[in-house]
């Protein structure tokens, strides 16, 4: 059992948990993830590690309410326990001094890009960050990302806050006007795909953090297999970071949709069990 030390609602759909897991906190590095199981009948799902505090012995995860497990988790509060919390899994993001690094994040992945931007900055890079949201009311952690970046740009799809548009537009302008040595893009799969397509003509190496469906998360089942450079790789042990120019995006997206019907059925059942509880459902 892993105790939730603090809970924060970053937006109505995005929650942050600080979880007591001192052994994981001691070993966590930027880009790694944990596997979480909410309760005895729950699924095992991966959540990227957003932060960790060795002194407190805590690990921070940020998640969006999209499925049964994340909705179950959202019902929990500080003081409650998560049944299983396994990690730190996956390979850490490669951190090195490269020159100028552009960190692009969309939606709840803002939380996962922060430790990467921080580590890149600490390694001596000039860090330019771009964060994208659908609209103003979904914006979070702007100051936090700004504090670990030399420059920060914000976009909203509907133009309700800062620049109107999607993250690939300022990314393209940057590539045209600045010498960029590395791009790291984390967010919804379609966003990572288009970031990779944007950087490809410029020949700038682009690292993406893939989020296929996982079961064990330790290389045992192969559910998370992705095709990178025409080779089958397991995101849980070979990744989750891969070269975005080599990823078979269409395959990844179709595998992510493999259980859509079952996910709907599961969620309907969960919602019928928690009638009227707006905080959960």
Residues contributing to the site for other proteins (CB under 8 A): 23-24, 27, 37, 41-44, 68-69, 83-89, 215-216, 218-223, 225-227, 232, 234, 237, 250-251, 254-255, 257-259, 262-263, 265-266, 269
Q: Say if CB 91 and CB 28 are below 8 A apart.
A: no
CB 106 within 8 A of CB 132: yes
What is the closest distance, in whole angstroms, from the C-beta atom of residue 44 to other proteins in the complex? 7
- At closest approach, how far in Å is the CB of 279 from other proteins? 19
Q: What is the nearest approach in angstroms of other proteins to the Cβ of residue 43?
A: 4
CA pair distance 210, 254, nearest whole angstrom: 13
What's the min distance (Å) between Cβ of 39 and other proteins? Answer: 9
- Is residue 187 within 8 A of residue 107, CB to CB? The reply is yes
Supply the minimum distance, in Å, between the C-beta of residue 104 and other proteins: 27
- Under 8 Å between Cβ of 101 and 74: no
Of the pair 26, 164, the CB lying nearest other proteins is at 26
Show the beta-strand stretches assigned E in 181-274. Answer: 182-186, 206-209, 225-228, 231-234, 241-243
CB of 180 or CB of 224, closer to other proteins: 224
Contact criterion met (CB below 8 Å) for 180 and 100: yes
The residue among 251 and 281 lying less far from other proteins, judged by its C-beta, is: 251
Q: Which is nearer to other proteins, 86 or 116 (CB)?
A: 86
Separation of alpha carbons 242 and 193, rounded Å:
12
Residue 201, judged by CB atoms within 10 A of its CB (0-12, 13-18, 19+), counts as: exposed
As measured in angstroms, the least distance from the Cβ of 127 to other proteins is 27
In degrees rounded to 5, what are phi and psi of residue 64?
A: -105, 140
Instruction: Closer to other proteins by CB, 173 or 190: give it.
Output: 190
Closer Cβ to other proteins, 78 or 83, answer by number: 83
């Amino acid at each position: 059992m892993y105790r939730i030390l603090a809970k924060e609602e970053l937006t109505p759909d995005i929650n942050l948990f600080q979880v007591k897991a001192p052994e994981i906190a001691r070993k966590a590095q930027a880009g790694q993830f944990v596997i979480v199981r909410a309760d005895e009948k729950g699924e095992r799902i991966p959540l990227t590690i957003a932060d960790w505090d060795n002194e407190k012995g805590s690990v921070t995860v940020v998640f969006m309410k999209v499925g049964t497990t994340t909705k179950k988790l959202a019902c929990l509060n500080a003081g409650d326990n998560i049944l299983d919390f396994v990690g730190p899994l996956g390979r850490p993001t490669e951190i090195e001094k490269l020159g100028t690094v552009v960190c692009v994040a969309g939606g709840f992945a803002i939380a996962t890009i922060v430790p990467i931007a921080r580590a890149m900055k600490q390694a001596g890079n000039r860090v330019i960050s771009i964060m994208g949201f659908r609209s103003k009311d979904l914006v979070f952690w702007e100051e936090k990302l700004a504090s670990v970046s030399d420059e920060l740009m914000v976009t909203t799809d509907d133009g309700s806050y800062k620049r109107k548009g999607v993250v690939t537009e300022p990314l393209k302008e940057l590539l045209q006007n600045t010498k960029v040595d590395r791009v790291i893009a984390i967010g919804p799969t379609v966003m990572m795909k288009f970031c990779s397509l944007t950087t490809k003509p410029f020949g700038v190496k682009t690292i993406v953090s893939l989020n296929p469906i996982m079961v064990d998360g330790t290389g045992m089942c192969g559910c998370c297999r992705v095709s990178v450079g025409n080779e089958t790789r397991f995101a849980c042990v070979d990744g989750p970071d891969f070269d975005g120019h080599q990823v078979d995006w269409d395959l990844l997206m179709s595998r992510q949709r493999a259980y859509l019907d079952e996910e709907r059925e599961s969620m309907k059942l969960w919602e019928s069990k928690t009638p009227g509880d707006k905080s959960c459902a």
